[in-house]
Structure 1
Amino acid sequence: MKILFTINYGENKFQMVRNLGYEVIYYNEETIKNNEDINSADILVTYNPFSTLDITQMKKLKYIQTSSVGIDQIPKVEVLKRNITIANNKGGYSIPMAEWIVMSILEIYKNSMKLHKQQQNKVWKMNMDTTELSDRTIGFIGTGTIATEAAKRLEPFGVKIWGVNTNGSNKEHFDKCFSTEEMHEVFKNCDAVICTIPATKDTIGLINKDKFNLMKSGTIFMNVGRGNIVREKDLIECIDKFRGVAIDVFEEEPLSYNSPLWELKNVIITPHNSWVSDKNKERTFNMIYNNLKKYIANEPLNNIVDINKGY
């Protein structure tokens, strides 16, 4: 069975895959183009080569393993037509993203942006506008791996943790969970609301002025899920009610130089950076290796994606 990698995990890692019984070929994702060698692959391990790689020519392809969590880049029509198995990297970036969430909450409550500016300008001035995370209620829109990893890290701060999922089912590390229909309870009652859900036909534009108007004055809003879930225009209109906002994903990326978000004093902007970690490549390869081990043994794979749902 032949595997095409478009990401170079190194010869030692490739040898581990060969030892499972696979033939391994590697072509750089940035320059890949179909040829006879590529077209004979049974499995594709990749991120997004699809601007130059045409899977319609890969007649033996049965399984695509992505290093990403999102699957927007996958050629959906061809995958559905041929019933190609798709597995993603669910949970692969949840730890660094959870740390970003904790960092951003603390930055807002401790007013660190102002303190950093004072340091840059050599200003010695005590800042009394700081507060505690303790006893707050933190709400997550979504209770998947990102939210769960963040909730685990927030528990020691002595907070209550609420979550929203499709049917309101209870989840470990969450004190209370609500269904999607009950989402308004989280916006109305939480001191911080953190959006971690994927983009689907049901979630695009879900967080808008109606939701922001429910939130208490002096609260925190954060988006680390997908940019098109939040109506940025509505967020900007409601910005004065927030103690702070932290955004890592945007409706259009890169964020326009002319976006008003750059100028808002209570907004933390990071350039879709929350997932980045020096441990990502090792963690991702381990996920891929475990799935390839299962695949050759004809065992159920982890992280199989429903291409129609988008996750």
Structure 2
Amino acid sequence: MRKPYVYITRKLPEPIVDQFRLFSEVKMWNSENLPVPREVLLEEASKADALLTMLSDKVDQQLLSVGKNLKVIANLAVGFDNIDVIEATKRGVAVCNTPDILTDTTADLVFSLILMTARKLVEAVDCVKSGEWKSWSPLFMAGADVHHKTIGIVGMGKIGEAVAKRALGFDMKVLYHNRNRKVEAEQTLGVTYQSFNDLVSESDFVVCLTPLTEETKGMFNKETFRKMKHAAFFINASRGAVAVEKDLVDALKNGEIAGAGLDVFVKEPIDLDHPLLQLENVVALPHIGSASVETRLAMMKRCCQNIELILNGKQPLNVLNM
């Protein structure tokens, strides 16, 4: 009896791959930094029983139509906007992700972005390393306080709640907007529900953590940024397409908002000549929300567990389309 065939779309550490070898024949795209070419992915999908995919891998109708043997796709992420879940469900292919594991790690990164943008930390580091630090002066590298300010969290899932806990440690007032009210979070954390428009107009830091859907795509646009305080900061650690990047650039250039901290972009990697990268009041990171060694290894292990369980006809730990 043949072992099931698993294809991994990015190079993973050998100890993780060894876990796959215990129950499957496994092949892996041998690059840590470059995505698997589309033609290679389609060829492997045509043979595979399972795929371990990255956010950069488009799992669409074309891929699913050639994946005649596919039983499971395990996405190394919480988000799954790269996968056509409806089409996968029609074809009887389970789609798994990695929730819970990366909650605190991502929340740490979000709060890091808040501090980096408000306190001009990237500019300060560059100033020292470039030799531009000549003396001390009263307003030299003076940024904005974070403590006792108002933070507005759009998308109050588990990561949003974890960010709220960190904000409370800075004595911040926490507002949130979510598709559904989180009464338990209001009671346990003391956070306050607001309409989207009220949240963006009242907050000093507007943090986007909502998933990318048809409803959320482009929700941060020209009108939204004009409702924000001139001294407010926009923080995005969800998906780049929730913001209209041209409108964000205009808002930053025109002083409609004070700055932005971004871990995600519409196109990733972002082009070096993108207008956002030319602005001093933008902190740009390479989509590293969950990028700690401990968390990423745990995400890989969870993908392996889910694939093994499904291939053995058992209930997976995380599945989006049961």
Tell me the TM-score range normalised by the shorter chain: 0.7 to 0.9
Q: Is contact 2:154–2:176 with CA below 8 Å preserved after alignment?
A: yes
Q: Within 5 A, what are the aligned runs for 1:181-220?
A: 182-220=195-233
What is the Cα deviation at residue 43 of structure 1? 3.0
Does 2:243 correspond to 1:230?
Answer: yes
- What's the C-alpha RMSD, in Å, of the aligned pairs? 3.3
Return the alpha-carbon distance in structure 2 between the equivalents of residues 191 and 273 of structure 1: 24
SS of the aligned residue for 2:200 comes to: helix
Does 2:113 correspond to 1:104?
Answer: yes
Q: Is contact 1:98–1:147 with CA below 8 Å preserved after alignment?
A: yes
- Give the equivalent residue in structure 2 for 1:25: 26
- Give the equivalent residue in structure 2 for 1:165: 178
- Give the equivalent residue in structure 2 for 1:122: 133
Q: Is contact 2:45–2:63 with CA below 8 Å preserved after alignment?
A: no
Going from structure 1 to structure 2, the CA distance change for 1:4 and 1:264 (only over 3 Å counts) comes to same
Return the alpha-carbon distance in structure 2 between the equivalents of residues 249 and 124 of structure 1: 35
Does 2:13 correspond to 1:2?
Answer: no
- Give the equivalent residue in structure 1 for 2:275: 260
What is the Cα deviation at residue 72 of structure 1? 3.6
**TM-score, structure 2 as length reference:** 0.78
What is the Cα deviation at residue 14 of structure 1? 4.6
2:137 maps to a residue whose letter is M
What is the Cα deviation at residue 5 of structure 1? 3.6
Does 2:155 correspond to 1:142?
Answer: yes
Q: Is contact 2:20–2:304 with CA below 8 Å preserved after alignment?
A: yes
1:23 maps to a residue whose letter is S
- Larger displacement relative to structure 2 (230-239 or 297-306): 297-306
- Give the equivalent residue in structure 2 for 1:45: 52
**Partner residue of 2:72 out of 63, 68, 91:** 63
Return the alpha-carbon distance in structure 2 between the equivalents of residues 16 and 111 of structure 1: 44
SS of the aligned residue for 1:242 comes to: coil
Return the alpha-carbon distance in structure 2 between the equivalents of residues 266 and 46 of structure 1: 34
Q: Is contact 1:98–1:150 with CA below 8 Å preserved after alignment?
A: yes
Q: Is contact 2:7–2:48 with CA below 8 Å preserved after alignment?
A: no
**Partner residue of 2:302 out of 287, 290, 296:** 287
Identity %: 23
Q: Structure 2, unaligned stretches of length 5 or more?
A: 31-35
Going from structure 1 to structure 2, the CA distance change for 1:110 and 1:284 (only over 3 Å counts) comes to same
Q: Is contact 1:135–1:159 with CA below 8 Å preserved after alignment?
A: yes
Going from structure 1 to structure 2, the CA distance change for 1:100 and 1:11 (only over 3 Å counts) comes to closer
**TM-score, structure 1 as length reference:** 0.80
Greater relative contact order, per chain length (Cα 8 Å cut-off, separation 6+): 2
Q: Structure 1, unaligned stretches of length 5 or more?
A: none
2:168 maps to a residue whose letter is E
Does 2:190 correspond to 1:175?
Answer: yes
What is the Cα deviation at residue 57 of structure 1? 4.1
Going from structure 1 to structure 2, the CA distance change for 1:26 and 1:207 (only over 3 Å counts) comes to same
Does 2:265 correspond to 1:250?
Answer: yes
